[in-house]
Each structure stands twice: as structure tokens, then as C-alpha cells.
Amino acid sequence: MPDRNRRRNERHLECDRCGRSVVLESANFNIVSSDRDSPELCCPVCNDDPRPSHFSSHSIAIRFNGAWTPTMAFLSGAFPDGVAPVTTSRDRVTLRILIGLANLEYAGHFNYGSPENLGAGIDHAKIAWQAGSAVGYSRWSLASVRSGTHPTLRQVFVRTEFRRRGNGGKLILDFFATTGSGPKLVEYPNDASCRLLERLGFVERTSMGWKSCSDQLIGFLPPGE
């Protein structure tokens, strides 16, 4: 009897949000084509978006190295404070979760691993760590404009509870410091990003709007280019 109970429990995981037992079966999996060995288990009841969609269901766990690991556990680790490149398969899962959290904040649903979340900049990504927590990330890629091809900062995101601690600035400064001495672009920053860039000495506000005041930053790139 104990063995049968143990096997039954291994076929279920408890949802950390609603407490329901979720069956480990394909109907509850979100499988990303590029990472079929690391499916995500979603709760079919808890939804991060009022619009019905499997990809907006609450993420419970991810199968990694042959074992199911709670999704949020990937955001913790014995990492020194600072900004680190995405180099391992675990780093990649951590990045995908952070991107999902960014999408949850900006678009209203988690969307872990969806194609639009794994676009430009995925190969040039950094994760910011603070006190053993993955607090945010940056992504950049090369973009071609009239003046040439330049490193372009595509996105900076910091988890809400870790903001106003200098993490966004660390990610931006790391981008400028590690992409060579040539000019850079920033993809269509919002007003909050511009204020941060202003504090870091890269832009200034004028009567015509924000403009670069640094030789390192030659301008802003419209989204999607």
C-alpha cells in the first residue's frame, strides 16, 4: 500500500496557489519546441489571465535534469551579487521565467517560453543577482541603421520587489561596459527608462524630448527594428 501511494503521488504535484493536485500529464504541460526536455507543468484552474488560454495558466514546476522543480526555485541560487551572462541550461530556464514575469506585468499573462518572448536578444542576455535571488535581466542584439551596425539594448526588466535598489542601473551599465567602445543604441525606452538613463549620464531632457548626451549612445531605435 505505501508503494502504491508513493507512485500515485509521483504522478501529481500540488499547485502552490490553489492547493489542488495537478496530474503530470501532457494536457497540463506547456512544451517549448526548443526545450522539449524541460516541459512546464501548469495548473488548469489557476489562470494568470482572465482570457482562457493554456499558456496563461499558473506555472507550478519545470522538469529539469530529470526531476520536477518548483518554477520559482529557479530564481534562487548561490550566485554572487552582480550581473552574470546566461551560459548554462539552468540559466536559460531562469531567464525564461524572468521574461515570463515581465510579460505578466506588461501584458497581463505569464506566457513562459512563448515564441515572442524568446526573440531578439536571447543570445546576448544577462541576469542580475542580489542576495541569492535572480532580480532581473537585460537582453541586447545587433541592429543595423544608416550609421552602421551597433549593439542595441532591447530590454531591461527588474522584478517589482527588487526595484529602487540600483539593479536596473547595474544592468544598463553592464551593457555599455561589455559591448565594446563603439556607439550603442537603446530600443524605444519608456519614460522611466529615460529617467534612469538620465541619472546614469546617457541622456538629457530637452524641450523636444529626450536626447543623447553621451558619445556612447547615438540614439533610440523604434521597437521591432
Number of H helices, E strands in the chain: 4, 14
pTM above 0.75, yes or no: yes
- pLDDT tens, N- to C-terminus, the chain (225 residues): 444 333 334 688 888 788 888 888 766 776 554 555 677 888 877 765 554 444 456 788 888 888 888 888 999 988 899 999 988 888 988 988 898 888 877 765 555 554 444 454 456 899 999 999 999 999 998 888 888 899 999 989 999 999 999 999 999 999 999 998 889 999 988 888 999 999 999 999 999 889 999 999 988 988 666
Residue 212 cell numbers, joined: 543623447
Strand 184-187, strand 217-221: pairing: parallel
Tell me the HSE value of 95 on the side-chain side, using a 13 A CA sphere: 25
Task: Indicate the DSSP class of residue 135.
Answer: E
Distance from C-alpha of 169 to C-alpha of 193, rounded to nearest angstrom: 10
| pLDDT value of position 4 | 39
The residue count of the chain comes to 225
Handedness of CA 154, 158, 163, 166 (dihedral sign): negative
